[in-house]
Amino acid sequence: MKPDYASAWHDLYSGFTKWHIWTRLGWQEVKRRYRRTVLGPFWATMSIGMFIGGMAFIWAPLFRTSVTDYLPFLAAGLVAWTYTTSLITEGCTTYTASEGLIKQLSFPFSILNYMVVWRNIIVFFHNLVIVALVNVVLPVDVTWATLLFIPGILIVALNGLWITILLGMLSARFRDIPPLIGNLVTIMMFVTPVFWRSEQLGPNAQRYIDLNFMYHLIEVIRAPLLGHVPALLSYWVTLAGVPIGAVVTFAVYARFRSRIAYWL
């Protein structure tokens, strides 16, 4: 099977230009998940907030740090982690969850990927309420660097786009991929500095932490939310991930896009 680069590019471009479709579908999906509830999507926000509140009083004493110092770090990190990992785990079901649409309608498949990314951006801003409340209650510096969380969101979204396309295709072909990715995400949660700070392992371990792509995706959002400028290395790694991941994914998409409907 020869790669059809023209069709793949037309799919991605045409899907993007139909932004009025995937933005509305993403918003409708958020509303559908919490239909007939009082708080709507804020139920997920409350769930994360309760988890952060409970964990802060457990982990802070373990790390011999005050709750007032640890809580903002945990809140910003967990909200950024939820946003990033949701793109990964939901990316696995991008095509399988829309099997009926793909088999019955002719449309750019990339609309589904744009919708997943947009939906998670909406949920992220709901969860951002937790960080805002923590920053108001506790002494967290809000500086001009705080605005850098916006480009951080976009960088993660761009990486999330090629991730959802690649994992969506792999999961459509191999149904073992979603549970495998779910297990890997769980493991990564504890080996990535989300609950703990990277400097707690000492300078010798920092070189290994710097090899963790997830760490840099989290850091370009978490650092600004704490009033700091992310390390230049985090920007280099995450920005480099966009073209590298896009090139690899585009090659795979051009080759196997036409097979997606047959894999479902």
> Is 89 buried (19+), middle (13-18) or exposed (0-12) by CB count in 10 A?
middle
pLDDT of residue 66: 72
Q: How many domains does the chain have?
A: 1
Let me know: does 195 contact 55? Beta carbons within 8 Å: yes
pLDDT of residue 200: 75
pLDDT of residue 142: 77
> Could you say which residues of the chain have pLDDT below 50?
none
Centre a 10 Å sphere on the Cβ of residue 244 and count the other Cβ atoms it contains. Answer: 12
Cα dihedral 67, 68, 71, 77 in deg (nearest 10): -130
6 φ, ψ to 5°?
-65, -45
Show the domain range for 14.
5-263
Let me know: does 252 contact 166? Beta carbons within 8 Å: yes
The rounded distance, in Å, linking the Cα atoms of 195 and 52 is: 10
pLDDT of residue 60: 66
**Residue from 16, 6, 23, 259 nearest 161 by CA:** 16
The rounded distance, in Å, linking the Cα atoms of 216 and 235 is: 8
Sign of the torsion formed by the C-alpha atoms of 170, 93, 240 and 206: negative
The rounded distance, in Å, linking the Cα atoms of 162 and 253 is: 10
Number of separate helices (H) and strands (E) present in the chain? 12, 0
Owner of token pair 């991929």: 177
pTM of the predicted protein model: 0.91
Contacts of 36 (CB under 8 A, 6+ apart): none
pLDDT of residue 208: 84
Lookup: tokens for 252 = 């795979």
